[in-house]
């Protein structure tokens, strides 16, 4: 799923995996109030959070979120 999204959106999409077990990962998670894993956060081009949810995610739903954000 991730590779397909990156291929489809190319430079329009920047996907980052954050590991809460690292200092940087903890800082990101805390700044977005993520205290459990897994979590999924979508940021628009300005850095504004457009979606944040905890728990497993549905690939179809992720694709829809990315498409919606890319269209903005």
Residue 63 has what DSSP assignment? H
Supply the pTM of this predicted model.
0.62
Structural domain total, the chain: 1
pLDDT above 90 (res 57)? no
Q: If phi over 0 gives left and psi between -120 and 50 gives alpha, with beta otherwise, what is residue 33?
A: left
Q: pLDDT value at position 29?
A: 86
Provide the domain limits for residue 63: 2-70
Residue 49 has what DSSP assignment? E
Q: How many CB atoms lie within 10 A of CB 44?
A: 13
Residue 42: its H or E element: strand 39-43
Query: pLDDT, tens digit, for every residue of 3-54?
Result: 787 788 777 777 778 888 899 989 988 888 887 778 888 887 788 888 887 7
């Amino acid at each position: 799923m991730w590779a397909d999204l990156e291929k489809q959106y190319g430079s329009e999409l920047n996907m980052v995996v954050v590991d809460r077990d690292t200092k940087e990962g903890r800082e990101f998670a805390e700044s977005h109030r993520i205290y459990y894993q897994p979590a999924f956060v979508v940021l628009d081009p300005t850095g504004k959070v457009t979606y944040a949810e905890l728990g497993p995610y549905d690939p179809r739903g992720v694709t829809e979120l990315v498409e919606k954000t890319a269209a903005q």
